[in-house]
Amino acid sequence: MTSIEVQALTKEYGTRRAVDRLTFSVLPGRVTGFLGPNGAGKSTTMRLVLGLDRPTSGTATIGGRPYAELRDPLRRVGALLDAQAAHGSRTGRDHLRVLAATHRIPDDRVEEVLAKTGLTSVARRRVKTYSLGMRQRLGIAAALLGDPEVVMLDEPSNGLDPEGIVWIRQLLRGLAGEGRTVLVSSHLMNETASFADHLVVLGRGRLLADTPMREFIHARVQPRVRVRTGDSHDLGALLAEHGHTAVREPEGHWSVPHARVEDIGRLLSTAGVTVLELAAEEATLEQAYLDLTADETEFTAHPTAPQPQEA
Ligand SMILES: Nc1ncnc2c1ncn2[C@@H]1O[C@H](COP(=O)(O)OP(=O)(O)OP(=O)(O)O)[C@@H](O)[C@H]1O
């Protein structure tokens, strides 16, 4: 199957380095989440992979060839970069038929992707009447038209309603399950956590991480046990006797880092403590991501300190 290979890829706009010596691979059979703060270089990298922009140096290839050299590119690579790209005065169906005709793709396939993206009932409407979510679906339908081995989607969940978000998750998992190479950029961490197997994270054009998602989270955020008790016990002292450092949170519960829920539960039960809540707090992708990118964010709102009131 086909991988995307990015090798020492660099793109400068004037004096600004948007992409800085990036090297990574996107492999088949899994969904790779492409993350990074605003302006980190995700869209630029995707544009370079798709031959829409020329690198200053380095290479980006698909199955060993630059995009421009692919024969029948729509059948090899499907991409959604900008959901607004469709012609507003065409119907959704006609937009796809025009694309299909230029690649000798039969009209039956247009009907298939309309059905797959839930657009059959609105296929006769002009694109300018479509909501943002419907345009996203149309962009995804266009990306899937050639039944490509490689699928690249820039912010595909943008504008989708909750049902659409569930749909895209299943779609991405399905594409990877069929052995395709799937690269998806997103700002939504919970979303990305629900569909990605692997992550590539950029900050200011540089590679910050290229790792399986589980490893990415567990290397940065420790799982904790959350406990709330009914008694006014000094839980901190009790847990300290057993080698745990518990922290009392402002909301009133206790957090016990590096602990297992089974051990804490047994310990509290033996001590006769009334337990109201006991849960394993899973580390989240959002925590891990914010930890990694804290210093890489170009646009950060700094809270201003309150100024002394003038008399
Ligand atoms: N055509 C261009 N001309 C000049 N600068 C550009 C151009 N395209 C992108 N840039 C700059 O390159 C940097 C990377 O932008 P890019 O859009 O690739 O980031 P991104 O990670 O996709 O951001 P976002 O999450 O906001 O979409 C930014 O500083 C951006 O201003």
Q: What is the pLDDT of residues 43-68, one digit of tens each?
A: 999 999 999 999 999 999 999 999 99
Q: Of 152, 186, 211, which residue constitutes the final position of a domain?
A: 211
Element (H, E) at 200: strand 198-203
pLDDT score, position 287 = 86
- CB of 43 within 6 A of ligand 1: the answer is yes
First to last CA, the chain: 72
Which range among 8-22, 238-252, 259-273, 286-300 shows the weakest confidence by mean pLDDT? Answer: 286-300
Tell me, rounded to whole angstroms, the distance of Cα 265 from its chain centroid. 35
Give the pLDDT mean for 244-268. 89
What are the tens digits of pLDDT across the range 212-252?
998 998 888 777 899 998 866 678 888 899 999 888 888 88
Indicate if 270 and 137 belong to the same structural domain. no
Q: Is there a domain that residue 165 lies in?
A: yes
For residue 61 the two structure tokens come to 């290839």
Indicate if 159 and 272 belong to the same structural domain. no
pLDDT score, position 148 = 96
Q: How far is CA 281 from CA 107, 115, 223, in A?
A: 50, 39, 6
Q: Is there a domain that residue 58 lies in?
A: yes
Cα-based torsion angle of the residue sequence 50, 53, 57, 63 in order, rounded to the nearest 10 degrees: 10
Indicate if 108 and 205 belong to the same structural domain. yes
Q: Is there a domain that residue 260 lies in?
A: yes
310 pLDDT band, cuts 50/70/90, is very low
Indicate if 130 and 231 belong to the same structural domain. no
Q: Is there a domain that residue 16 lies in?
A: yes
pLDDT score, position 311 = 42
Tell me, rounded to whole angstroms, the distance of Cα 208 from its chain centroid. 15
What are the tens digits of pLDDT across the range 80-114?
998 677 777 899 999 999 999 988 899 999 999 99
ipTM of the complex: 0.96
Residue 270, exposed/middle/buried by CB under 10 A (0-12, 13-18, 19+)? exposed
Q: Is there a domain that residue 53 lies in?
A: yes
For ligand 1, atom 4: residue with the closest CA: 13
- CB of 39 within 6 A of ligand 1: the answer is yes
Ligand 1 mutation target, pool 10, 19, 42, most atoms within 8 A of CB: 42
Q: Is there a domain that residue 306 lies in?
A: no
DSSP string, 78-134: EEES-GGGS-TTSBHHHHHHHHHHHTT--HHHHHHHHHHTT-GGGTTSBGGG--HHH
Indicate if 207 and 171 belong to the same structural domain. yes
pLDDT over 90 for what percent of the chain?
63
DSSP letter at 272?
T
- On the question of pLDDT at 260 being above 90, the answer is no
pLDDT score, position 142 = 95
Residue 18, SS3 per DSSP: strand
Ligand 1 mutation target, pool 22, 44, 154, 202, most atoms within 8 A of CB: 44
CA distance 17 to 21: 10
Whether the Cβ atoms of residue 75 and residue 121 lie closer than 8 Å to each other: no
Give the pLDDT mean for 257-273. 89
Q: How far is the CA of 279 from the centre of ligand 1 (A)?
A: 42
Q: Of 189, 211, 233, which residue constitutes the final position of a domain?
A: 211
Q: How far is CA 245 from CA 94, 126, 147, 224, 310, in A?
A: 64, 62, 54, 11, 45
Indicate if 252 and 121 belong to the same structural domain. no
Query: How many structural domains comprise the chain?
Result: 2
- On the question of pLDDT at 300 being above 90, the answer is no
What are the tens digits of pLDDT across the range 138-159?
999 999 999 999 999 999 988 8
Q: Is there a domain that residue 296 lies in?
A: no
pLDDT score, position 291 = 84
Number of the ligand 1 atom closest to the C-alpha atom of 19: 14
Indicate if 41 and 188 belong to the same structural domain. yes
Indicate if 207 and 229 belong to the same structural domain. no
For ligand 1, atom 5: residue with the closest CA: 13
Which range marks the domain in which residue 112 is found?
4-211
pLDDT score, position 100 = 94
pLDDT score, position 308 = 53
Indicate if 267 and 131 belong to the same structural domain. no
CATH number, position 54: 3.40.50.300
Instruction: From 183, 177, 133, select the one nearest 157 (Cα to Cα).
Output: 133
Q: How far is the CA of 154 from the centre of ligand 1 (A)?
A: 13
CATH number, position 272: 3.30.70
Summarize the chain as % helix, strand, coil (round to 5).
35, 25, 35
Whether the Cβ atoms of residue 88 and residue 126 lie closer than 8 Å to each other: yes
